[in-house]
Amino acid sequence: MRYLKPTSIHEAADALESSRGTILAGGTDLCVYMAEGVCQPETLIDISGIDSMRGIETIQSGREEATVRIGAGTTVAEVAASEALPDCLRQGAQAVGSPQIRNLGTIGGNVCNASPCGDTLTPLLALDARFVLRSTAGTRTVESEEFFTGPKQTVLDPHEILEFIELPSASCARASAFRMIGNRKGQAISQVNAAVSVAIVDGVMSDVRVAVGSVAPVPLRLAGLEELLSGKTVEDLHPANLRDAVLEGVRPIDDVRSTATYRQEVTVALVFDALAACGGQRSGQDEGAGAW
């Protein structure tokens, strides 16, 4: 196997184009697949030495709305600790694996791995994130909602690298929360997760974004629920009011981690709890799904 370690994004794009290799970031997913024989890359392109792909900064260009830009090579631990990022994204990152996994794994790797239960994916959807993809031809930007096409599948071409994740600053100003449920504390992968981002003025909700994971082949926005909640007050929030709109949007399956029926019930609970946290009625993961 060939191993390349470019130090710039252009060098990485050239290497990917010429070798048709496989991108290695933290390796916390890829090395597992290699060990299991699921994939056997001929060339590994290690992007961990590209400094420009790490870090979080606010970009203001001309009169355009400011953007919070996260390098795809930023570790999950760095995302989890960043005060510059909205609560739901930090909480999603905090839910990933163990400290060792968060220190090695990157947010770009979590996105490109495209697991339906990836814990940063629903926050990114709820925040209207955009993904900047780099190839030798230049860059193109894809909305997060259009990026995921199936379990472990995305619109990323084989010669493209996820370079940055961008969050519109308006989405960062909204209240937000992430909730997940797993089999146990510690390294449990989400059986269901949910992220909510909402503007609340005088108790009235607008710009509502609700995203759920592990309840369909891709992480999903719940458009019907978002419409239902828009213009309502946080006092109107009750699980019974959300239930039909949540269940209309999800398509869970039975698998080794839980049944479809369980996932449906838990999704309603997690979405309600995240919305309630945004409304200031509750806070803290421990008060989660079983609280009502």
Ligand X SMILES: Cc1cc2nc3c(=O)[nH]c(=O)nc-3n(C[C@H](O)[C@H](O)[C@H](O)COP(=O)(O)OP(=O)(O)OC[C@H]3O[C@@H](n4cnc5c(N)ncnc54)[C@H](O)[C@@H]3O)c2cc1C
Residues that bind ligand X (CB under 6 A): 22-30, 32, 47, 72, 76, 95-97, 101, 104-106, 108-110, 112-113, 118-119, 161-162, 187, 189
Residue with Cβ nearer ligand X (182 or 252): 182
* Shortest Å distance, C-beta 284 to ligand X: 19
Contacts of 139 (CB under 8 A, 6+ apart): 132, 133, 163
* Shortest Å distance, C-beta 245 to ligand X: 26
- Residues 115 and 93: their CA atoms lie apart, in Å, by 14
Q: ∠268-271-275 over CA atoms, to 5°? A: 135
Please, are residues 32 and 10 in contact by the beta-carbon 8 Å criterion?
Answer: no
* Shortest Å distance, C-beta 131 to ligand X: 9
* Shortest Å distance, C-beta 289 to ligand X: 17
- Residues 110 and 253: their CA atoms lie apart, in Å, by 22
- Residues 184 and 220: their CA atoms lie apart, in Å, by 24
Contacts of 20 (CB under 8 A, 6+ apart): 42, 43, 158, 159
Give me the amino acid identity at 280: G
- Residues 102 and 292: their CA atoms lie apart, in Å, by 31
* Shortest Å distance, C-beta 26 to ligand X: 3
* Shortest Å distance, C-beta 252 to ligand X: 17
SS3 (DSSP) at 138: strand
Residue with Cβ nearer ligand X (72 or 210): 72
Contacts of 137 (CB under 8 A, 6+ apart): none
Residue with Cβ nearer ligand X (20 or 238): 20
* Shortest Å distance, C-beta 117 to ligand X: 6
**Chain position carrying tokens 């509502």:** 208
Residue with Cβ nearer ligand X (131 or 247): 131
Residue with the CB atom nearest ligand X in the bound state: 109
Tokens coding 34? 């290699």
